[in-house]
Amino acid sequence: MTADPLIRVIGLGKAFGRHVVLDDVRLEVRPGEAVALLGANGAGKTTFLRILATLTRPSRGSASILGHDCARAPERVRPHIGLVAHGAYVYEDLTALENLRFWTALAGLAADGAALARALAAVELERFAGERVRTFSAGMKRRLSLARFVLSRPRVLLLDEPFAGLDQRAKKWLEGYLEAFKAAGGALVMATHSFGRELALADRLVILAARAIALDTPRASMGADEIARLYRLHAEDGA
């Protein structure tokens, strides 16, 4: 029996004033599934992720995570999601350990020193626990932002250009982390406009164009050329 979807989006629409960004978007993502959300700049990828992350309310339709409506019950959704966006959500004047302690305390998670140390070790930052984040590379900051999820254990990860700005080593690490997250039954939605590692991780390709989902297809054994062709067909020519 197919598991119930972790993410369910029905008839979702979003407008900023008279500017319609999304219109009648439908999507379901099941446990252990990774969706690569492709689209040109301005297609609505970030807006879609922000609605799922409860940071923006839709204008119509609904988005729910684990059965909780993102707009009506954001407090029930937030313990189950993790957002990896352009910012790393870390305070640069605090150390790695202090950042982790602050965010876990704010989330109401009981985490002693040993648990915090284990979380940092899981993202390979245990040697830098006492270093101020200001001295970290982009990849290290990204790893630190993921360390919170070791403790909060979200079921859904929402990622906006997750590999952008990372060096090869950091990209490889992140890829392994996301594979493990998927294997543990988590759901991933990765917004991107590049054909990089997000596609290798993805089980499905969803192309956003003209304010709606133009294509939703299993990635299966699709090569980069085929994906690029579909992207040009739907996201660029169809826009």
Partner 1 sequence: MEHRSKETLNALVFFALLLLFVFQFALGPDRERLAAALPGLLWLGFVLAGLLGLGRTFVLERENDCWDALLLAPGDKSAIYVGKLAVNVLLMLVVEVLLLVLFTFFFNVDLVGPLPALALVMALGTLGLAAVGTLFAAMTAQVRARELLFPVLLLPVQVPVLLATVKATEAVLLGEPLSAVAHWLKLLAAADVVYVAAGVLTFDFLLES
63 binds partner 1 (CB under 8 A): no
Residue 203 in contact with residue 193, Cβ under 8 Å? no
- Judged by CB, which is closer to partner 1: 54, or 192? 54
CB of 162 to partner 1, least distance (A): 15
The residues near 188 (Cβ < 8 Å, ≥ 6 apart) are 29, 33, 34, 35, 156, 157, 159, 178, 181, 182, 201
CB of 107 to partner 1, least distance (A): 5
91 binds partner 1 (CB under 8 A): yes
CB of 50 to partner 1, least distance (A): 8
DSSP string of 170-208, one letter each residue? HHHHHHHHHHHHHHTT-EEEEEESS-SHHHHH-SEEEEE
Annotate each residue in 95-114 with x if it binds partner 1 (CB under 8 A) or - if it does not, as one string. Answer: --------x--xxx------
17 binds partner 1 (CB under 8 A): no
Q: How many CB atoms lie within 10 A of CB 75?
A: 8
165 binds partner 1 (CB under 8 A): no
d(CA 178, CA 187): 10
- Judged by CB, which is closer to partner 1: 13, or 74? 74
The residues near 42 (Cβ < 8 Å, ≥ 6 apart) are none
CB of 81 to partner 1, least distance (A): 8
94 binds partner 1 (CB under 8 A): yes
48 binds partner 1 (CB under 8 A): no
Strand-pair partners of 81: 156
- Count of residues that bind partner 1 according to CB under 8 A: 23
**Maximum C-alpha span of the chain:** 54
d(CA 112, CA 23): 45
238 binds partner 1 (CB under 8 A): no
Among residues 87, 176, 218, 238, which is the contact residue for partner 1, using CB under 8 A? 87
